[in-house]
Amino acid sequence: MKLYTSKFSPNCRRVEAVLHHLGLYEEVDIRRPNMMEGEHRSDEVRAANPNMKVPTLVAGDMNLWEANPTMIYLCDRAGAEDFCPSDLKTRFEILRWMSWEVQHYNRALAGILWETVAKGLFGGGEPDQDKIDTEMENYRRFAAVLNDRLAEHDFVLGDRVTVADFAVGAYSALALLPQSRIPLEDYPNIKAWYLRLESLPSWAKTAPDSMAEAAE
């Protein structure tokens, strides 16, 4: 297998963390195109993913785009029943949370984090408070759902970590930064869960080395 990835992307982090969690990391040809130099627009990457985005996994004659289906593929390939159960009820619960994080929770979170953390690093100017306010309203709506869920469980699906946690928790490093302005003190169950994620060996191995790496 071959993975086009970046050290600076929360979406890439979740895929690389799954590889570590499953013990597959050493079996994969890791390729890190220089995004600042435009190497992700090379013919090589375009052949694997016409969107020219990472993460992209090449597995035999399969080219997998987008982090969440890639994670499920890797889990099924490894037969990781504890981490990504295949029974119908649990599998669709995983898919539900994955869809929810893309459409709602992490979408709002990413909007805030772009303005408060990443924008300045990329020379995008000062934070736009109107955009922060709009996304903060969305974030609070969906953070309440996750916080309630985590009131009775250590992890999204229950008492053990699953692939759903790596999906929903993809932005943990950024959200925990004080300058992110994410109001985690209002959602103590989310904050505690983020800290549990950061302490997991497979998640910790993919932690960004600096604020700049977390944001890019």
- Is position 156 within any domain? yes
Which of the four pLDDT bands, split at 50, 70 and 90, describes residue 210?
A: low
What mean pLDDT is predicted for residues 85-101? 98
pLDDT (average), residues 60-79? 97
Whether residue 213 is contained in a domain is answered as no
Residue 211 confidence class, pLDDT cut points 50, 70, 90: very low
Q: Which of 165, 142, 170 is nearest to 153 (CA)?
A: 165
| Same-domain status, 96 and 168 | yes
Q: Which domain holds residue 103?
A: 88-207
**pLDDT tens digits for 14-38?**
999 999 999 999 999 999 998 777 7
Residue 216 lies in a domain: no
CA distances from 81 to 71, 87, 91, 96 (A): 13, 9, 10, 18
Domain end point (choices 46, 78, 110): 78
Q: What is the pTM of this model?
A: 0.93
- Asked whether residue 101 falls in the same domain as residue 167, the answer is yes
Closest to 175 (Cα-Cα) out of 211, 204, 129: 211
Q: What is the mean pLDDT of residues 88-107?
A: 98
Among candidate residues 28, 45, 78, the one where a domain is terminated = 78
pLDDT band for position 40 (cuts 50, 70, 90) = confident
In a domain, 214, yes or no: no
**Residues 11 and 99 placed together within one structural domain of the fold:** no
What is the arithmetic mean of pLDDT over 196-211? 88
Of the residues 78, 98, 126, the one at which a domain ends: 78
Domains of the chain: total: 2
pLDDT in tens, 118-139: 888 778 889 999 999 999 999 9
What separation in angstroms does the CA of 93 have from each of 70, 89, 165?
A: 17, 6, 12
- Specify whether 193 is located in the same domain as 125: yes
Pick the more confident residue, 58 or 210. 58
In a shared domain, residues 69 and 21: yes
The answer to whether residue 195 scores a pLDDT higher than 90 is yes
Task: Report the percentage of the chain scoring pLDDT > 90.
Answer: 85
Mean pLDDT, range 58-76, rounded to an integer: 97
Q: Which CATH number do you get for residue 109?
A: 1.20.1050.10
